[in-house]
Amino acid sequence: MSENDVCKLTDFTVSCGCAAKVGGGALREILAQVPQAVDNRLLVGSGNFDDAAVYQLNEEIALVETLDFFPPVVDDPYTFGQIAASNALSDIYAMGGEPLTAMAIVCFPTKTLSTDILVAILRGGADKVKEAGAVMVGGHTIEDERPIYGVVVTGRINPGKIVTNAGAKSGDLLILTKPLGTGIIITAMKAGLAGQPEMDEVIASMVALNKPASQIMLEEGVNAATDITGFGLLGHLLELAAASRVAVEINISSVPLFSSAIEHARMGLIPEGAYRNRDFAGSRVTFASEVNLAEQDLLFDPQTSGGLLISVPAEKADALLKKLQQQGVEKARLIGEIVSGDEGFIRITK
Ligand code: CO
Ligand code: CO
């Protein structure tokens, strides 16, 4: 956008870089009042809070479906479109699916923002969908006070090869494929406290598809996976721990972080969503006394277009990590393990 524009795109962002997602606790209460679909063709529904729904068509093919949308997290409209599409596609990749088609969901204030901005958002999204090997086939746009953009994705998956968040086993090692800290650094950017180099690092990560990580995990064979988005590492990890009925231990020193994330967290640039995530997850997480507050905040930080969290048998972990790092997923790290202990609980060590 030029400097003459009345509004910056991120002026429309609600309080955090994560899209002001409804908190996990509130969402659970709401969904508990809505009857859940029961159908023997529905292989993965909303019960375990998995990434995408899976609906079986025949022995070899199931549909895998998801959607995601949010207000701008960056000011450049083309980049925002790319990030939103990459984020939506990620749920298909987390389950080991192949995206086929996408449709755009758009709210846009044509009275306050130039339609050139909308064109750039749509082009960014369409280009990212094309990069994923899928086709943008349509969408729906309404006039609204603030811009929102998102994507519905339909993909295919082999019903025998679905990677859910429910398959983690005691003894597995955990790999995270992108650094944490997008919410904190976007908050710093909006406060005028993040420099261009650090924004560039975060944007490159948010724009990057989880496609290579997904393909490599399928080749190597893993027990469970999910992607890290609005509920933060610990929120999504708790969903995995609960669905898999296991306990988890994470070593904070091994968790990949954006270079300036700890510094901004220490300055108190914490998005509201991180506090919501802590309220929801906090009682099921214990921290060793050496884990400081800034480190804790990063583990609750809501991520936009975060990485895959993969649970892999220990004997396969080294080969998987090496392959990821050699094939474009350089930031992937081993961050912890699945342990025996209280089901659905997480311990953070240092
Ligand atoms: Co997800
Ligand atoms: Co999602």
Share of the chain above pLDDT 70, in %: 95
Q: Which ligand is nearest to the CA of 67?
A: 2
Spot the catalytic one: 7, 16, 18, 107.
Answer: 18
Digit-coded pLDDT (tens) for 43-101: 998 877 788 999 999 999 999 999 999 999 999 999 999 999 999 999 999 999 999 99
The neighbourhood of ligand 2, an ion, using CB within 5 A, equals 68, 91
How confident is the prediction for the chain on average, in pLDDT? 92
Cα of 15 from ligand 2 centre, angstroms = 19
| Alpha helices, DSSP H, located in 156-195 | 182-190
pLDDT of residue 142: 96
Cα of 85 from ligand 1 centre, angstroms = 13
pLDDT at position 4 over 80: no
Q: How far apart are CA 89 and CA 211, in angstroms?
A: 9
DSSP structure class, residue 254: G
Q: How far apart are CA 235 and CA 24, in angstroms?
A: 8
Sign of CA dihedral 68, 69, 73, 76: positive
> pLDDT band for position 19 (50/70/90)?
very low
DSSP structure string for 31-75: HHTSPPP--TTEEE-TTTT-SSEEEE-SSS-EEEEEEEEES-SSS
Cα of 167 from ligand 1 centre, angstroms = 16
Cα of 94 from ligand 1 centre, angstroms = 7
Q: Which ligand is nearest to the CA of 48?
A: 1
Q: How far apart are CA 77 and CA 232, in angstroms?
A: 25
Digit-coded pLDDT (tens) for 336-347: 999 988 899 999
Digit-coded pLDDT (tens) for 296-327: 999 999 999 999 999 999 999 999 999 999 99
Cα of 288 from ligand 2 centre, angstroms = 30
Q: Which ligand is nearest to the CA of 152?
A: 2
> pLDDT band for position 329 (50/70/90)?
very high
Q: How far apart are CA 107 and CA 109, in angstroms?
A: 7
Q: Is 107 a catalytic residue?
A: no
